[in-house]
Amino acid sequence: MQKNFKKIVVMGLGYIGLPTASMLATKGHQVLGVDISEEVVKTINSGNIHIVEPDLDILVRSAVNSGSFKASLIPETADTYIIAVPTPFKVTERNPKTPDISYVEAATRAIVPYLRENNLVILESTSPIGTTERVYEIITETRPELSENIHVAHCPERVLPGHIIRELVDNDRIIGGITREAAIISRELYQSFCNGNIFLTDARTAEMAKLTENSFRDTNIAFANELSIVCGKLGINVWELIELANKHPRVNILNPGPGVGGHCIAVDPWFIVDAAPEEARLIRTAREVNDCKPHWVLEKVRLKASELTNPVIGCLGLAFKANIDDLRESPALEITRELMVSNIGTIMPCEPNVGGDFDEFKLYNLEEVLKEANIILLLVDHDEFKAIDAGLLKDKHVIDTRGVWR
């Protein structure tokens, strides 16, 4: 059952859409990337990138220079359409963290006029249960003649920021089709660049698999974060405790942090809770533990600041994890924002991976922070921070949420 994928439209050119589009373009496909931002489109068409991701600039430049990849504000007629747009929260009366699939719906409606019989539509966005069916519903409601002649599937991304290019190629993939045929056809496309195994299922199971993976990780992180809070109350060094407990051959406790960020682990568990609020009790509790951890960190900072006459607090890191520029759902950014409006002292945020387009508040370079701050709050374990000379910290009050300087 061979399928012609030569022309592919990728809707959304963010952290998933851009690497996927450029990867497909270097594998012999003609790719049009679509984004609502004129600046993003202009940047990509010049062979540059608007996000920080190792080796992505090389991949995009190669794809653009070869003529196989270009960006646009509007889609075109193609053989395959991949939707890779955000799925954030929205506030409703029922739930302040209700999944918002409006971007997926908008992207689907944007491609509907261009669809032809036997086109393939793949949803890559991490989505609440039933979203792939909603994509099919939008298509067939508007174009009923396609109801038996359109292939719709879900293939959730499973990559780690900072390693996206390698993991796009090497990681196993799960594909869930509205029909079995849609899943099989989708597998053929991903086999053009994916070395990992590709497993087929139905759309709902594929959606739930991605949510389950991140809920499992979130639950394990919550155990470590709760342990750090307990140890803080009991006067125990949590880093030493975890190191010793992990000597057991069947114990592997993760390291705690200031919370959990990113668009996946901090978001996906709530999609399950929203779908089954009475049943997902452990998943909800884990998410609440991790959501509350930034407030615990803030209390530690406030207590230390209250002991000083003129506290100057250096906040090291704003990204949600080390060595990237991604600020989505970042606990470090949440903590820094709270400190900025708390009036407890002078706040000096430092984030070496964010460029001049960050205008929410002033950023300081690391040298300035280490010179001026008397409280150093480590929020993200960027390599630049790990390399700080310990001698520069000896006269500082250090709050290390990552265990870098333990």
Summarised one tens digit per residue, pLDDT across range 39-76 is: 999 999 999 999 888 899 999 999 999 999 999 999 99
- What is the tens place of the pLDDT at every residue in 347-394? 999 999 987 678 899 999 999 999 999 999 999 999 999 999 989 999
Instruction: Assign 316 to helix, strand or coil.
Output: strand
- What is the tens place of the pLDDT at every residue in 177-221? 999 999 999 999 999 999 999 999 999 999 999 999 999 999 999
Answer whether residue 402 shows pLDDT above 90.
yes
Residue 120's beta-bridge partner residues? 80, 151
Cut 0.85: pTM above it: yes
- What is the tens place of the pLDDT at every residue in 119-146? 999 999 999 999 999 999 999 999 999 9
Q: Which amino acid, one-letter code, is at 32?
A: L
Structure tokens at 348: 């000096």
Q: Is 264 a catalytic residue?
A: yes
Lowest mean pLDDT among 85-99, 163-177, 214-228, 330-344: 85-99
Question: Of residues 155, 264, 315, 350, which has the active-site annotation?
Answer: 264
Question: Of residues 210, 293, 304, 321, which has the active-site annotation?
Answer: 210
Answer whether residue 263 shows pLDDT above 80.
no
Cβ–Cβ < 8 Å for 305, 347:
no
Domains of the chain: 7-196 (3.40.50.720), 212-400 (3.40.50.720)
